[in-house]
Structure 1
Amino acid sequence: MKVRVNRSGQLLILLTIFLGVAAANTANNGLYIVVSFLLAGMLISGLISLYNLKGIEIRLKFPEEVFAQTPTLATLNLRKKTKFPSFLVRVSSKTGEVVLPKIPGEWVSEELKFSFPKRGYYKSVKLKISSDFPFGMFRREYEKEVYVNLIVYPKLLPTVFSPETMKEKEGEEKNLSTVRGYEDIREIKDYAGEPMKLIHWRVSAKLGELKVKEMIAEEESPIVLSLDSVSGDLETKLSKLTYLILKFSREGYSVGLKLGDKVIEPGKGKEHVRQLLKELALYNLDYGLHLS
């Protein structure tokens, strides 16, 4: 545990030295008493500050989705395991800080900001715990490693991706490109920029305005993405795929993923999406690489 002297503490030390020298030169008993009180005050302050930071239990809970290079708020839970509470405790990450006026024996919660520079698996994170209590003259601090078992997904990088364009580019012989069929008509609706092949010419001619066919299979066609689906270096591709997986899943598509020889079949739901994002987060990384 480190001890730092604040400005007020520096002034107190200088004053104590000055009075100590004066007491020695003048043999003034009153000055000796004052110096004794000042030294005793510093000793008591040190002992109180040491006890103040001992026995603090810390837990962190992160959101379900955490992305690299993106600020995120984690729930910080603290409690004091010893009899007396702690006061004016500052908890800091690399990108955030929070001050708790009091930490009792019961759990208290605050939000603390984090930002992870890289994707991957984080076994734990380091927090700095410090306090100026009781008199603000000295600051005690130490680092604490908090177990989190966290998967950080690649950062989100928006990109333009058209399923129709992808199909035309790669051809229908590649079953890992987007496949969209138009077998069954759900309803006839007004034209709103849909592909020309969806225009219902007979109905349009009859009504005197463009009408299009809404196809049932349009909603059910799966999308399987791969590194070849996007451009850029590896990290850029992974970031773009992360964005596309979230985008298409929120639009109701069944989304799958191909990374090398590993293929995850298209599916829906939160757990399926997290599986896809986890594969991107850990791709080409040693498990347990990061410790922040």
Structure 2
Amino acid sequence: MARTHRGVPIRSADELVKARHAAQLAAEVLAMIEPHVVPGVTTEALDQLCHDHIVNVQGARPANVGYLGYPKTVLTSVNHVVCHGIPSPQQTLKKGDIVNIDVAVEKDGWYGDTSRMFCVGTPSTLAQRLVRTTYEALCAGIREVKPGATLGDVGHAIAAVAHREKFSVVREYCGHGIGTVYHDEPQVLHYGRRGQGLRLEAGMVFTIEPMLNAGQRETKELADGWTVVTQDRSLSAQWEHMVAVTDSGYEVLTAWPGGTGVYPPI
């Protein structure tokens, strides 16, 4: 059984190998789906492609299917949808949309979880700025990760980037520990005060997944029990990486296989 600190598992080197493998499988799914995120595609079609890749190519299990009753493989959150959007054959992406695709896989009892934004065609200047700022906020949070730092340091760094650009930080949803349990301790808030919260130790593994809104931070859940939207219908963006605390800092376990592309390195 893994050693824990304040209820948070501390992973051994052998365990980190397994966590890294699951994380890389999740990252590969997002790399695979990128060329398919184009005007005219349905979110249902994207979900099916991801499902088939996880099952038939990776020999893994789509972790979201059936999780708390969720019916699909990925979550597709378009424009003013903050998170947990359900893929649908009736939802067709169009030029100017921004969409987050969130994927989780389970392989040999270990979970990998990651998400990223995709731009369909050329979105508005505001949408592009929101997408890039949310990525920059994620990077700022990741850079705070090291032994002795606190989760408050991570949240503070994320919120500072968001507020600099006059965007708001969603507070109802957060990152989480992950490993042999999909959602584990700790909860990773995307706001906070420096020096407060859990003190990090090497071997901890968790996701950082900030959601930023172009308008106010308030959200609401729709009647389907999953889809979360901005109350003011402003645009929302989210990026997610799975991170391990190392002896010297951090490792991004869900690093993109082909590099960061048009986005700056973390």
Q: TM-score range by the shorter chain?
A: under 0.3
Structure with the higher fraction of residues in strand conformation: 1
Between Structure 1 and Structure 2, whose CA radius of gyration is higher?
1
Structure with the higher fraction of residues in helix conformation: 1
Normalized against structure 2, the TM-score is what?
0.27
Higher RCO (CA-CA < 8 Å; seq separation 6+) = 2
